[in-house]
Structure 1
Amino acid sequence: MEAVLGFIDFILNLGPSIIMPIIIFIMAVIFQVQIGKALRAGLTVGIGFIGIDLVIGLMGETLGPAAEAMVSNLNINLTVLDTGWPTAAAAAFSATTILPWIFGLGILLNILLIITKFTKTLNIDMWNYWQFIFGAAFIYAATNNFILSIILGLVTLVITLKLADLTAPKVQEFFGLPGVSLPHMQTMAWAPIGMVLDKFLDKIPGLNKLKADPDKIQKQYGILGEPLFIGTVLGALIGALAYFPQIIGGEFENGISQLLTTAITLGAVMLIFPRMVRLLMEGLLPISDGAKKFLNKKLPGRELLIGLDVATVVGNPSVVATGLLLVPITLILAVLLSFTGINQLLPFTDLAVLPFFAVWAVVWSRGNIVRGILIGSFFMAGILLIATFIAPLQTQLADAASFNIPEGTSLISSLGGGSFLLSWLLMLPFINGTEWTIGLIIGVIILVAVTILSYIYFFIPKLRQKEFKKGKDSEIQKEDIL
């Protein structure tokens, strides 16, 4: 068992920039892509991920101090500290009781589901298996039931793969990623809610005719509407909210310097991010083409989707812009929801990764930033609620992982942890409770109700389409026989 754990830990610690090239190369060889092309594809994907990591790191280094300054300006005093998604990942890697089962059974289950045609998505995003492990780990911490936590952890994997299948056409259309799906559990669970909320916004007069995607903005405002300028303006806005007290409080030069640095850096992120994603796609295209040819030859009529990290699409200008605008909105929501008892999390570290949570807020409306902000605000309210709810569990897991909890802090959690909607929903019926307040009870009821209705609304039409297609195929077969 120690040898197995050591091997899994070694793989996970390599990170996507090393794991992905190896996996891409192996898959390309299996799909009979020429060795030279396979090697180039793997290396290109690895370099693409390194580029994406660099841009995300740059964004984090800029937004981190700005977020800290905004928190200070708002004088927010909440009891749960946001220590970021790395805390959850570290807890997952340290959950030795859960880790080998979810990792090993998860991969085998994915292959079995492809063979049985239940799913078309082959999840090659091995590093992000930590999400399924963490979800199962906090269910185990809440219920102390090992078998239940493994079962529910694998259920989240199955639902995530199915959602990835169903949303793949939208991913391919909107982001221009042929043959790709996004089985990223933290974000994928919010996709049905985003679709339903977008349908609801379609019914609102005025808002349903508003065009606010980057292409429309650029056509209307010319060069001022380009992603570079949008990023710079948003950076200046965040910089002003963060450093305005310094500017008027006697530290004018330092405040202006910080504001301008934030503006230019986020402008650079908006410009560079899509280029890194294009580099990644350059490496993925050979394996996508190879997979299609291989399946058409060996299994005619079958489709295989390559499951990737949502980081591959975060560079979309609409996603980045919406994510940046959600930074101050999330801080305001944290304060407002604290008065109701729904939230006790002090957003901080994970504010730098809000574009990840904005993906399914903008996709359904084809990049409409205004709609993205409205839908994303609902997402963030739900994430704050869940992050507060699981704070005792995440603190317990962090203690077990020997994470150094900051002095003066009794509870930690994260926006990343709060995004585990599926794990949280599946856990609710099996726990004895938490520190409930009227506001928290109402918030949980609303979030659960909206989620269940969204999933029903999302899945039923898809199932009907499949039944209709089967019916049509049967009719065609009857006609052929006759």
Structure 2
Amino acid sequence: MEYIKILFQGLINMGAPVFLSIILIIIGLIFRMKFSRAFSAGLTLGVALVGINLVVDFMINNVGSASKAFVENTGIQLGALDMGWPPALGLAWTWEFAFLMFPIQILVNLVMLSFRWTDCVNVDMWNVGNKVCTAFLVSYVSGLVWLGLLFATIQAILELKNADYTRYRLQRLTNIPGVSMPHPMFLTGIWLYPFVKLMDKIIPSTVNFDAQKVREKIGAFGENHIMGFLIGCLIGLFGGYDFKATLTLGVQSGAALTLFPLVAKLFTTALTPISESATDFMKNRFKNRTFTIGLDWPIMAGRSEHWLIMILTIPIVLLYSLILPGNLVLPFGGLMNICLVVPLFFLTNGNLVKMAIGTIVGIPMQLYVASYFAPHFTRLAQSTGGVSAPDNQMLAWFGMDISELRYIVAEFSQLTPVGIVLFISTIILSVFYFKGMKKEEEQFKKELGIDVENSSNGRAIS
């Protein structure tokens, strides 16, 4: 046992890029990938982790320094710089127990498929990182690693059930049959669903706008590099920078927002071969079954409603960050608020008015949750050495997936009165949500012309 412990600790001490590369290679070999392909996937993951750290360091050294000057000049206390989702999940991967979530997610999916508790084959390996994030946040707050892994396991189960209960809603929105989305952000529906139902009673479905026409008027201002440039220039101006330094910061900020998604694609490049091998693995073990393929949310990304609301609410996000008492986070990397806008699109069937209202109401919660978890992200960065935050400045993730649920389970893990009340409320709301989703699925089946009595659930893997 002692030898295993020494070996395990030795691997961890190599650092996340090396350690997780080795783990991914081993997983690839278990899925019967060729060694060369598994080695390439593992090495690409290591490169992605190094790349994310480089971009975060670049952001901290430039935007971070300017934001400190901004805070000092304005007197507003914003001591945490928002990384956005690519660096935040990249940082979560550096947690020493991150590798355990690969086998946990696969085992959960296998067990649920075996007992026919789900029809979703989840091949979205990138979002294993989201379970890693939940596990490490709960572990850091509670001090209990096993509890963090337990809540991450429950999250994996709920994601699969949610994918089952929303497959026909997804097909109606995308016209793609046989797929589902076990993405964590859609569990935000547990809290959003009652609010959406209330809006449905108050606001007629006919009250809406043409998203494509509005987005065309915004034009190039919706591009990442231009938004980054404008925001960087504003931070520089309020930070007291001269003209040259302000323009330089604008270009650097535009570079940061452009590089984040580019580097994040390396994670997809690394994990796509694993996903393909996992699909083959499932096919060989569950023959003569009908499944849906669990994919990431970008299968809906072609709809203009998402991007329009994200862009239009950026000024509101920045305003909230300046006026909300107790907020510590200066939004930057997560200004394109995917993890609130996309679930609202899903639940409102793309109604722009309801999406805008839901986003405006939900932003304060996301800022406060980002402030709550900022010390823990900073502590992780410091302990792993992957990113070094400047003195008196923390790292945060504004627009975190399932912000409210992660806060609730973190508080509940400490058995605080607030945590207990919110956790019980979440259980009640979950029952209401899943019942509502199941009922609406029957309606979407009828709209799609699928036989409710005798339909097969999805499409067969063949």
TM-score, normalized by length of structure 2?
A: 0.66
| 8 Å contact kept, 1:92–1:130 | yes
Aligned match of 2:208: 211
1:189 is aligned to 2:176: no
Letter aligned with residue 412 of structure 1: L
Alignment of 1:47-446 (within 5 A): 75=74, 76-96=76-96, 98-185=97-184, 187-205=185-203, 208-214=205-211, 218=213, 225=214, 227-232=215-220, 298-299=287-288, 302-337=289-324, 339=325, 341=326, 343-351=327-335, 353-417=336-400, 419-431=402-414
Q: What is the Cα deviation at residue 135 of structure 1? A: 1.0
Question: What is the CA–CA distance in structure 2 between the aligned matches of 1:94 and 1:177, rounded to whole Å?
Answer: 35
Q: What is the Cα deviation at residue 253 of structure 1? A: 12
Q: What is the Cα deviation at residue 448 of structure 1? A: 6.6
Q: What is the Cα deviation at residue 89 of structure 1? A: 2.5
Q: 1:244 to 1:133 in 2, by over 3 A?
A: closer
Structure 2 gaps of 5+ residues are 34-47, 49-54, 258-264, 446-451, 455-462
Letter aligned with residue 311 of structure 1: P
Q: What is the Cα deviation at residue 318 of structure 1? A: 0.8
Q: 1:102 to 1:242 in 2, by over 3 A?
A: closer
| 8 Å contact kept, 1:213–1:367 | no
Deviations 1:86-142 (A, max 9, x none): 44324432222x223322122111111112111122221212211111211121112
Question: What is the CA–CA distance in structure 1 between the aligned matches of 2:115 and 2:355, rounded to whole Å?
Answer: 36
| 8 Å contact kept, 2:367–2:399 | no
Letter aligned with residue 164 of structure 2: D
Q: 1:313 to 1:464 in 2, by over 3 A?
A: closer
Question: What is the CA–CA distance in structure 2 between the aligned matches of 1:204 and 1:160, rounded to whole Å?
Answer: 30
**How many residues are paired up?**
396
Q: 1:100 to 1:407 in 2, by over 3 A?
A: closer
Letter aligned with residue 352 of structure 2: I
Question: What is the CA–CA distance in structure 2 between the aligned matches of 1:120 and 1:254, rounded to whole Å?
Answer: 55
Question: What is the CA–CA distance in structure 2 between the aligned matches of 1:403 and 1:9, rounded to whole Å?
Answer: 9
Q: What is the Cα deviation at residue 457 of structure 1? A: 2.5
| 8 Å contact kept, 1:175–1:313 | yes
Letter aligned with residue 115 of structure 1: S
Q: 1:26 to 1:103 in 2, by over 3 A?
A: closer
Question: What is the CA–CA distance in structure 2 between the aligned matches of 1:445 and 1:336, rounded to whole Å?
Answer: 29
Q: What is the Cα deviation at residue 242 of structure 1? A: 7.2
| 8 Å contact kept, 1:156–1:422 | no
Give the % identical residues. 23
1:459 is aligned to 2:434: yes
Letter aligned with residue 93 of structure 1: W
| 8 Å contact kept, 2:159–2:183 | yes
Q: What is the Cα deviation at residue 188 of structure 1? A: 2.1
Question: What is the CA–CA distance in structure 2 between the aligned matches of 1:168 and 1:376, rounded to whole Å?
Answer: 24
Q: 1:396 to 1:214 in 2, by over 3 A?
A: same
Aligned match of 2:459: none
SS of the residue aligned with 2:342?
helix
Aligned match of 1:221: none
Question: What is the CA–CA distance in structure 1 between the aligned matches of 2:299 and 2:219, rounded to whole Å?
Answer: 19
Question: What is the CA–CA distance in structure 1 between the aligned matches of 2:293 and 2:431, rounded to whole Å?
Answer: 26
Structure 1 gaps of 5+ residues are 28-49, 51-56, 219-224, 267-275, 475-482
| 8 Å contact kept, 2:409–2:423 | no
| 8 Å contact kept, 2:382–2:389 | no
| 8 Å contact kept, 1:231–1:321 | no
Deviations 1:292-344 (A, max 9, x none): xx89x943xx431212222343342111111112222111222232x2x3x22
Deviations 1:335-390 (A, max 9, x none): 232x2x3x222212222x42354111222223222221211223322221221222
| 8 Å contact kept, 1:103–1:133 | no
SS of the residue aligned with 1:81?
strand
SS of the residue aligned with 1:363?
helix
| 8 Å contact kept, 1:190–1:379 | no
TM-score, normalized by length of structure 1?
A: 0.63
Question: What is the CA–CA distance in structure 2 between the aligned matches of 1:161 and 1:176, rounded to whole Å?
Answer: 21
